[in-house]
Amino acid sequence: MNNTSYTYQFIVMTLIIVSSCQLKTSNENNNIVSLKSLSNNLDFNSKIDSILELMTLDEKLGQLSQLNNKGDQRIDSVTIDAIRKGEVGSLLVNRRNFYSFEERDFYQKLAVEESRLGIPIIFGHDVIHGFKTIFPTSLAQSSTWSPDLVEKGAEIAAKEASAQGVDWAFAPMVDVARDPRWGRIAEGYGEDPYLNAVFGAAVVRGFQGSDMSSPNRVAACMKHYVGYGAAVGGRGKQFTDISDRTLHEVYLPPFKAGIDQGALTVMTAFNDINGIPATAYTYGIREVLKQNYKFKGFVVSDWDAVKHLLWHGIAADTTEAAQLALNAGVDMEMKTIFYKKLKDALKDGTVSIEYIDDAVRRVLYVKFKLGLFDRPYLEKDNTKEIFLSDAHRKEARKMAAASMVLLQNNNNILPVISPKAKSIAVVGAFAKETDVMGWWKSTGQFEDVITAFDGIKSNAPKGINITDKVTASTDYIIACLGEPSKFFGESRNRADIRIPTDQVDFLKSLQKYNKPIVLVVFNGRPLDLTSVTDFAHSILLAWHPGTETGNALADVLFGQHNPYAKLTASFPRSVAQLPTYYSRRNSGNPQGNKYIDLSGEPLFPFGFGLSYTTFEYSLLEIEKNKIPVNGELKLSAMITNTGSKEGTEVVQLYVRDLVGSTTRPIKELKGFQKVNLKPGESKKVSFTLSTKELSVLNKDFEPVVESGGYHVWIATNSTKGLQGKFEIIE
Ligand code: GLC
């Protein structure tokens, strides 16, 4: 829809509202209670108590509703009327261009100045990896093993989003995922609970900062609670069968890390957990999240997820669906308005006013924490100097380069150095593709993307000619292939996780030139790359790098950035091998982890990634081989740059409990550090691991630090490192 029609729409909308306002009876104006008087001299809880006492049941249930615009339209007059009645707690924008600056405050003014109590709306939007400046997809971001970069990216996304009126970002998604057929594996931080916890917490810090009522901050939302990544067959939204142990040791820890970091909201998932839909999951929400994790914010359902309870087959009608969700602890309903039916549920005693009041209290708490009562409006429109600023582009470029994983580099043909290359052909389906911002591109615009070709051309060292065709004078071929953004994301699950055949055929057609070939893969999910490894000298995983794609790619290809990224999700040899992940349990037949016709090991394992230099690990030292149950393990190794270029190595720490009260994974990541080394330089990398970080759930699900023998590795990836042994003694 073009801007003219938007303007027309907006004028029409304004006329509707103005005319309906004139019809408003005078006494509604007189009833408006100025919350300003409440919000100056009381602490949060007292303010909330005071407001709660004033609220009608309709106003309370209204605060528990999140409505949205219809497709690309503005919100309709019914919603506008509900806002004026104080019956809309939140508005969700699920379209490519957020509300205009004026429009956002137009709706907010209806709530704050026209409704009886003037409770501000909280505006929500999917800010997953950028708002206007789009960063790499989340799985790519985790490959940087750099929480500081990820936090900075979230901070920039919050700054851009809040400048346009977003108060609440529906991220981070911390669904541990171990099945690349699942389209949304691209949206989280990989297969490992520890890394999802580290990066989820980093995003919360970036979004919320230390004072979330300051401008430039947004509320975070830990999602999707819980176990969405375990959907059977990688078919998202399908049922899951998650053991209690896997639930507590794999899927819950990232959420606890986000709550401990102060995340203000949580979103429930579409799946069931062993027969209980996440949006009716009383145990997970009321007992684990609100009681055990002491979560103070509010829980929102996912889109239509309250209605889905009918489809799950546990609610006979929408009133029962609303009652199940609220009683389970879902405080706000996204998109549907079944919570209005809680009036009936209240009458027939299937919900209590205490639960309703608690839900409203939580929503008001978040609005106070965000400063919405004191600062409901956008002060000034500074989007022009904020959006896509040089500083933001620079950070996006840095993160994109840092996320690119070097999987193969035969004959060290990378980096492309000018004496060896006078002419480079940049070809393939993704060479000039601007749709490389992933699935959740928010308000990112294709025209703002630097393509692979443009970036390589504009950054090529002097004397190197860049062409978009292979010719007789071509020295290097950069083949840009991969999976389009429509192949991954929500409801985009694939049974075949290879690069599309036509692109592989194209790659094979390049062999006739007998030139060095660099394959740059644009992907959302881990792919089966077995069909291409023999047809390229080097393979660089670019993911969907976002707005700064071409510049970041050039930085890596020409060596300004020496890759240090490492995989955070295993790349299988075949879809037939799934699921495959590093921290599997040993089983009674360790040799059995294979097929008669295929290995059980992935093609590229968790933690793997190459550099333009090489590193050697030596001198593993464990300070004490016997440590008390409440002690700490201190160990170190010497890392040496044995190559000719300066580089960074992600040094990983893994442990294994050799004899547990239950069967334990063969390896668990417990820490990592990045070390930068000049050629020939060595540095000692030390880790200190407290035994409480080795705590597990015994067979009675009690957290314990188990005595006995452990293996420990300081490693370059999950399959290769220096192994040592220690013992925890009672
Ligand atoms: C979608 C997604 C969720 C998103 C929400 C709002 O269905 O599952 O991640 O935040 O709806 O767009």
Tell me the average pLDDT across 570-596.
93
Q: Determine the distance separating the centroid of ligand 1 and the alpha carbon of 302, expressed in angstroms.
A: 6
Q: Which two tokens stand for residue 140?
A: 């790519």
The yes-or-no verdict on residue 726 having pLDDT over 60 is yes
Angstrom distance (rounded) from CA 555 to CA 241: 44
Does residue 176 have a cis peptide bond before it, meaning omega lies within 30 degrees of 0? Answer: no
Assess whether 302 carries a catalytic annotation.
yes
Provide the pLDDT for residue 17.
46
Strand pairing report for 276-277 and 272-273: antiparallel
Q: For residue 33, name the pLDDT band (cuts at 50, 70, 90).
A: low
Atom of ligand 1 nearest to the CA of 171: 10
Q: Determine the distance separating the centroid of ligand 1 and the alpha carbon of 546, expressed in angstroms.
A: 20
Q: In angstroms, how far is CA 290 from the centroid of its own chain?
A: 22
CB of 68 shorter than 6 A to ligand 1? no
Provide the pLDDT for residue 2.
45
What's phi and psi for 352, nearest 5 deg?
-110, 150
Task: Determine the angle formed by the axes of helices 452-459 and 549-557, rounding to 10 degrees.
Answer: 50
Q: For residue 284, name the pLDDT band (cuts at 50, 70, 90).
A: very high
Q: What is the pLDDT of residues 491-537, one digit of tens each?
A: 999 999 999 999 999 999 999 999 999 999 999 999 999 999 999 99
The sign one gets for the Cα dihedral 657, 659, 661, 667 is: positive
What's phi and psi for 48, nearest 5 deg?
-65, -45
The yes-or-no verdict on residue 291 having pLDDT over 50 is yes
CB of 94 shorter than 6 A to ligand 1? yes
Residue to mutate (ligand 1; options 67, 94, 166, 170; most atoms within 8 A of CB): 170
What's phi and psi for 114, nearest 5 deg?
-110, -25
Residue 216 CB coordination number (10 Å): 15
Residue 81 CB coordination number (10 Å): 15
Q: For residue 40, name the pLDDT band (cuts at 50, 70, 90).
A: low
Provide the pLDDT for residue 242.
96
Tell me the average pLDDT across 348-356.
96
Task: Give the rounded percent of residues in the chain with a pLDDT score beyond 70.
Answer: 93
Residue 643 CB coordination number (10 Å): 18
Residue to mutate (ligand 1; options 137, 302, 490; most atoms within 8 A of CB): 302
Q: Give one DSSP letter per residue of 24-55, joined into a string.
A: S-HHHHHH---HHHHHHSS-HHHHHHHHHHH-
Please answer whether residues 487 and 509 qualify as being in contact, where contact means their C-beta atoms are separated by less than 8 angstroms.
no
Tell me the average pLDDT across 96-111.
87
Three-class SS state of 651:
strand
Atom of ligand 1 nearest to the CA of 223: 9
Which of 126, 302, 454, 555 is labelled catalytic? 302
Q: Which two tokens stand for residue 340?
A: 């209005």
The yes-or-no verdict on residue 648 having pLDDT over 90 is yes
Angstrom distance (rounded) from CA 43 to CA 41: 7
Tell me the average pLDDT across 146-153.
98
CB of 533 shorter than 6 A to ligand 1? no
Angstrom distance (rounded) from CA 452 to CA 434: 9
Atom of ligand 1 nearest to the CA of 173: 9
Residue to mutate (ligand 1; options 490, 491, 492, 493; most atoms within 8 A of CB): 490
The yes-or-no verdict on residue 3 having pLDDT over 60 is no
Closest C-alpha to ligand 1, atom 6: 303
Half-sphere exposure of 26 (CA within 13 A, CB side): 0
Q: Give one DSSP letter per residue of 610-631, joined into a string.
A: B-SS-EEEEEEEES-SEEETT-
Provide the pLDDT for residue 11.
54
Closest C-alpha to ligand 1, atom 8: 302
Tell me the average pLDDT across 148-153.
98
End-to-end CA, the chain: 69
Provide the pLDDT for residue 41.
58
Q: Determine the distance separating the centroid of ligand 1 and the alpha carbon of 269, expressed in angstroms.
A: 9
Residue listed under structure tokens 């004028």 = 11
Q: Mean pLDDT: which of 61-65, 68-72, 97-101, 702-706 is highest?
A: 61-65
The yes-or-no verdict on residue 408 having pLDDT over 80 is yes
Of the candidates 364, 299, 367, the residue with the CA atom closest to the CA atom of residue 55: 364
Task: Give the rounded percent of residues in the chain with a pLDDT score beyond 90.
Answer: 86
CB of 175 shorter than 6 A to ligand 1? no
The yes-or-no verdict on residue 1 having pLDDT over 50 is no
Q: Give one DSSP letter per residue of 77-136, joined into a string.
A: HHHHHHHHTT--SEEEE-SSSPPPHHHHHHHHHIIIIISSS-PPPEEEE--SSBSSSBPP
Q: Determine the distance separating the centroid of ligand 1 and the alpha carbon of 120, expressed in angstroms.
A: 23
Average pLDDT along the chain = 93
CA dihedral 400, 526, 129, 669 (to 10 degrees): -90
Q: Determine the distance separating the centroid of ligand 1 and the alpha carbon of 124, expressed in angstroms.
A: 11
Residue 411 identity: N
CA distances to 48, 218, 366, 367, 376 from 363, rounded to whole Å, are 10, 15, 5, 6, 15
Angstrom distance (rounded) from CA 356 to CA 329: 10
CB of 223 shorter than 6 A to ligand 1? yes
Q: For residue 72, name the pLDDT band (cuts at 50, 70, 90).
A: low
Q: Determine the distance separating the centroid of ligand 1 and the alpha carbon of 362, expressed in angstroms.
A: 21
Tell me the average pLDDT across 559-575.
98
CB of 170 shorter than 6 A to ligand 1? yes
Strand pairing report for 423-427 and 720-729: unpaired
Provide the pLDDT for residue 29.
39
Q: Determine the distance separating the centroid of ligand 1 and the alpha carbon of 75, expressed in angstroms.
A: 18
Residue listed under structure tokens 């339209």 = 73
Closest C-alpha to ligand 1, atom 7: 303
Angstrom distance (rounded) from CA 276 to CA 281: 6
Angstrom distance (rounded) from CA 163 to CA 723: 50
Looking at per-residue pLDDT, the higher value among 588 and 123 belongs to 123
Provide the pLDDT for residue 25.
34
Atom of ligand 1 nearest to the CA of 94: 12
Tell me the average pLDDT across 453-460.
98
Tell me the average pLDDT across 267-273.
97
Angstrom distance (rounded) from CA 720 to CA 566: 13
The yes-or-no verdict on residue 578 having pLDDT over 80 is yes
- Strands (E) across 307-409 are located at 333-334, 405-409
Q: Determine the distance separating the centroid of ligand 1 and the alpha carbon of 53, expressed in angstroms.
A: 33
CB of 126 shorter than 6 A to ligand 1? yes
Provide the pLDDT for residue 18.
46
Of the candidates 220, 211, 172, 224, the residue with the CA atom closest to the CA atom of residue 195: 172
Angstrom distance (rounded) from CA 366 to CA 359: 11
